[in-house]
Amino acid sequence: MDSRIRDMIGINPSKGTLPCPVAHYIASSLGVSPKDVGDAATSMKVKLDLCQLGMFGYGRKNTKTGYKILGRPVDLPEEFLARIRAAAKDGKIPCRDLWDIAASSGVTRPEAGNAADSLGIKVSPCQLGAF
């Protein structure tokens, strides 16, 4: 494992957790894949949190609304929802694809995550390897 990744994770001010945006920053800064950073975090027993799509990391898992920020009513253009449906295979859409669809549509990442969730489409695989 790249010691630079471990060092960057180690200086993260949130000891024991690594927010998704920080993990992606580390990957970009070091020129490594987000999966490499996610794997390093896992090996260091550092939990990933604050998923940019809203899938995990927002409180306790056992609460009804805390763990993820999904489940809110979706009011997005049908064209956007159709793009998500078209990109999904076997009821799943890769995180990276959903990011790209959101960016090209002017939709925020959490809105895209919520839209996929409301359509019954699972986000998988996660770029960091969380799922």
Range 82-86 contact pairs with CB under 8 angstroms and sequence separation of 24 or more: 84/112, 84/115, 84/116, 84/119, 84/121, 85/119, 85/121
- What pLDDT does residue 99 have? 98
In this structure, the number of other CB atoms found within 10 A of the CB of residue 40 comes to: 25
- What pLDDT does residue 60 have? 60
Residue 69 sits at φ, ψ, to 5 deg, of -110, 35
Task: Quote the mean pLDDT of the chain.
Answer: 90
126: nearest Cα among 105, 99, 107, 103:
99
> Which strand (E) or helix (H) includes residue 121?
none
16-32 pLDDT, tens per residue?
899 999 999 999 999 99
**pTM reported for the whole predicted model:** 0.87
Q: Which residue has the higher pLDDT, 56 or 89?
A: 89
63-122 pLDDT, tens per residue?
554 456 666 667 899 999 999 999 999 999 999 999 999 999 999 999 999 999 989 999
